A and B are shown apart, each in its own frame.
Chain A
Amino acid sequence: MQVLRETNLQGLALAKKLGKKGTLELLAKRGLVGRGGASFPTHKKWERALSVKTNERFLICNADEGEPGTFKDKFLIKNNSETLIEGILIAAFVLDAKRCFIYLRAEYDSLRLELEKIIKKVLKKSKMKVSIEIVRGAGAYVCGEETAIIQSIMGRRGQPMEKPPYPTIKGLWGKPTVLNNVTTLTCVPQALLYEDWNPNYRLFSISGEVEHPGVYEWELGVKMSTILGTVKPKGKMKAMSFGCFGGIMPVYKSNRVSPALICDKNCHHGAYSLIFVGEKKNIVDVNLSMAKFYTYESCGKCTPCREGTIRLVELLKKIKSGQATNKDLKLLKELANHIQETSLCGLGASCGNHILTGMKNFKKDYKGFIKKK
């Protein structure tokens, strides 16, 4: 895997040789974009923070991945954390950040002590005067949102804030703050150092009803048949879900997995998490389990998301009980759309995707529960 290549502080050495400007130029040339979901060019994010005149900038490494079906950052923390720390140091060098944070989700706390050791080791070798602190998350999915992480590190409830101001301009303690996720930062030294570094490789988290779940690296546009051939479905597959955000659709062997396939331009494919669903499962069940996730994780700040996610669960339960009519299906669709349109952050804005695509692509499953008058 490209992303497992080690760089042994050579990426940092190169960055120092090139200087800030040269490093940003090379990152731009290599085409590194954020791997957290938004695919924003990394060098541009850093440039924005640099455009603010200040005596202090901060860097946050987002290790709070939590979308169900996603575990690629954990894989990197376990398997290539030295390169990750080097990426943090390169960012710190370019941004002049003296204090960096790794926001580690509570569910990964068992990796913390080992990570602390690696931080110490790499810092010592690099001789840089920078601190890298681990912030221990405490089980709130929404804290992965960038403005929420900032609130959380500052000792407040991790609720998303309205943007602008963007964190790159006004973030932690009012200072310009760059947030990059684990995969992006691991790619930084690799992209700088290796001429043959390919910007189109992505890490895929594969799970569900397959023989070989796990983290794989493929190029964007990889054929579904390649994926299936590798992960070996257990029997016939009915559907695949792009995490919880991206929607759920039938499995076509000839499909190519790229942002365009998943959901056109409004898509939250970001993490490339594929959950495979076998033919015996009912999609209403799958949707219900995802809907519960949103109810549980909504931070409660906006009414449509806080209340609406609860109603979605109620409606799905009603459908499953066989008591629902076509009117309820219509309501479900309306409500899902409505919440998405009126919510502040990505969680609310995508909480209905799985239901809308489930209803569209698996009509039979839904209709099967509807009361015949």
Chain B
Amino acid sequence: MEEKILLNILHEAQDKHGYLSEEVLKKISKKHQIPISRLYGIITFHTMFRVKKQGKHILELCGSPSCLLNGAREIERFIEKELNVEIGETTKDKKFSVYKTSCIGCCDGAPAMLIDGKPYVNLTIKRIKEILKELKNASTKRN
């Protein structure tokens, strides 16, 4: 029997539930016969697994050199101010979680960020305003 890849199992669970709660991990642990401590060991080793409930959208701002040289810091400050959060936190209305990340391979579109895993490039303050507005509107419509 071919062993199923643990990283993929964890990702699929996170895709489904939004984050890896203790409950979800207990199920995985039982089903695949992997001690829960080992699961936490893996999860906390990686930056893209979350063990807490997240905002509706996850923003990951690139903080690596090509983006910094092209104004990433201003973008970061603007987002923090606009959403009233600090990096690593979730907004009070639970709409956005904001993180900083190492290079996301979009250096030719610096400054860049990922929103829910999708790259957004050549960011300017104007563009961010539009993007945030779109995301906010879309989520109110859906709710």
Contacts and interface: CB of A to CB of B under 8 A. Distances in A.
A155 B49 CA distance: 14
Contact of A241 (B11, B63, B65, B119): B65
B106 interface: yes
Given A70-B107, A207-B66, 10 more contacts: A68-B64, A68-B107, A69-B64, A69-B66, A71-B106, A71-B108, A136-B7, A155-B6, A157-B42, A297-B102
A138 B34 contact: no
A275 B119 CA distance: 20
B70 A209 contact: yes
Interface in B87-132: 101-110, 114, 117-119
Interface stretch (A36-44, A286-294, A316-324): A286-294
A262 to B, nearest CB: 17
A238 to B, nearest CB: 11
Interface of B: 2-3, 5-8, 10-11, 34, 41-42, 45-49, 63-66, 68-70, 101-110, 114, 117-119
Contacts of A12: none
A202 B119 CA distance: 26
Given A107-B101, A139-B48, A292-B63, A157 B106 contact: no
A296 to B, nearest CB: 6
Nearest to B34: A155
Contact of A137 (B2, B6, B7, B107): B7
A139 B103 contact: no
B47 A139 contact: yes
Contacts of A23: none
Given A68-B66, A289-B68, A152 B107 contact: no
A326 B130 CA distance: 48
